[in-house]
Amino acid sequence: MTTGLSPIELAKFIAAKQASEYIESGMKVGLGSGSTSAWFVQCLGEMVRENGLKIKAVPTSEHTAELAEVVGIEVITLDAAKWLDITVDGTDEYDANLNLIKGGGGAHLREKIVATASDRMVVIADATKKVDTLGAFPLPVEVIPFGVGITRNLIEEALIGMDVMGRDVSLRMDGDTPFITDEGNMVLDLHLKHIGNPRQLGFVLNQIPGVVENGLFIDICDVVIVGRGDGKVTVRDITNNTAEVVQYDVQQEDNIFLEVAE
């Protein structure tokens, strides 16, 4: 239900609710990862249970796959889907050109594969994710475990010639051990503060041996849906160059969610 949610969670919920209007029966849908995407999966689950929505979904993480199955969404592999009608996902940052930084949860490799295998990518977010210039959020780079120290050194050297304000690189940890992605890789977080040329940086990083993928999503996002704590949702479509504001009644009791174990 909407009552009792914090302003941030309410913003995520109504953005997810708005995104669910893009989904129709028969679609093959990419499901993103993270807290905002979890709201979207819940909204789709409600549509499956209550409205008879019939879709097939490709999750971008094991956690999303588990949640989708719990709420009643049919899960398939990307190879089985072959191509997707739409992917809906969250973001850690986005700029005026709808370029993104993703990967705070470490799923950016699968997220980028799924998003680029879709006719359209819709991003759902709260207003705090909008930035003038990408880079305040650490840029995740997925790397193979073999020679991770060498890969880190090569990245640090490459950053010397880049238009960035910081060059600190840290290995992402999960307690006392390195964080491991669903693909069995590690993540290096680049604390850049400012990325003057995201396209160039993404290209350079992906040329470094040991790098699997970086968290810069350039020219991939088509629509961003931004929710706010007052119930307003802004829908910006960069392809059609349109922007629309929708007002939700945040006092209504929308008890659509199943109890799902973390």
Query: Pick from 42, 193, 182, 45: which is nearest to 124 by CA?
Result: 42
Residue among 46, 111, 142, 213 flagged as catalytic: 111
| CATH code matching the domain that covers 7-128+219-247, chosen among 3.40.50.300, 1.10.760.10, 3.40.50.1360, 2.60.260.20 | 3.40.50.1360
**139-212 homologous superfamily:** ACT domain (3.30.70.260)
pLDDT band at 5 (very low <50, low <70, confident <90, very high): confident
Predicted model pTM? 0.93
> Which residues lie across from 189 on neighbouring strands?
140, 170
Q: Is 11 helix (H, G, I), strand (E, B) or coil?
A: helix
Q: What is the pLDDT of residues 202-250, one digit of tens each?
A: 999 999 999 999 999 999 999 999 999 999 999 999 999 999 999 998 7
d(Cα 14, Cα 32) in Å, to the nearest integer? Answer: 16
Alpha helices in 179-262 (DSSP H): 198-205
Q: What is the pLDDT of residues 151-202, one digit of tens each?
A: 999 999 999 999 999 999 999 999 999 999 999 999 999 999 999 999 999 9
The question of whether 183 is a catalytic residue gets the answer no
Cite the residue boundaries of each domain of the chain with CATH code 3.40.50.1360: 7-128+219-247
Based on DSSP, count helices (H) and strands (E) in the chain, helices before strands: 7, 17
Cite the residue boundaries of each domain of the chain with CATH code 3.30.70.260: 139-212
Query: Pick from 4, 20, 61, 79: which is nearest to 227 by CA?
Result: 20
Q: What is the pLDDT of residues 146-162, one digit of tens each?
A: 999 999 999 999 999 99
Give the chain's end-to-end CA distance (angstroms, integer).
18
Q: What is the pLDDT of residues 16-36, one digit of tens each?
A: 999 999 999 999 999 999 999
Q: What is the pLDDT of residues 99-148, one digit of tens each?
A: 999 999 999 999 999 999 999 999 999 999 999 999 999 999 999 999 99
d(Cα 64, Cα 15) in Å, to the nearest integer? Answer: 18
d(Cα 84, Cα 119) in Å, to the nearest integer? Answer: 6
Per the structure block, which two tokens stand in for 74? Answer: 């049919």
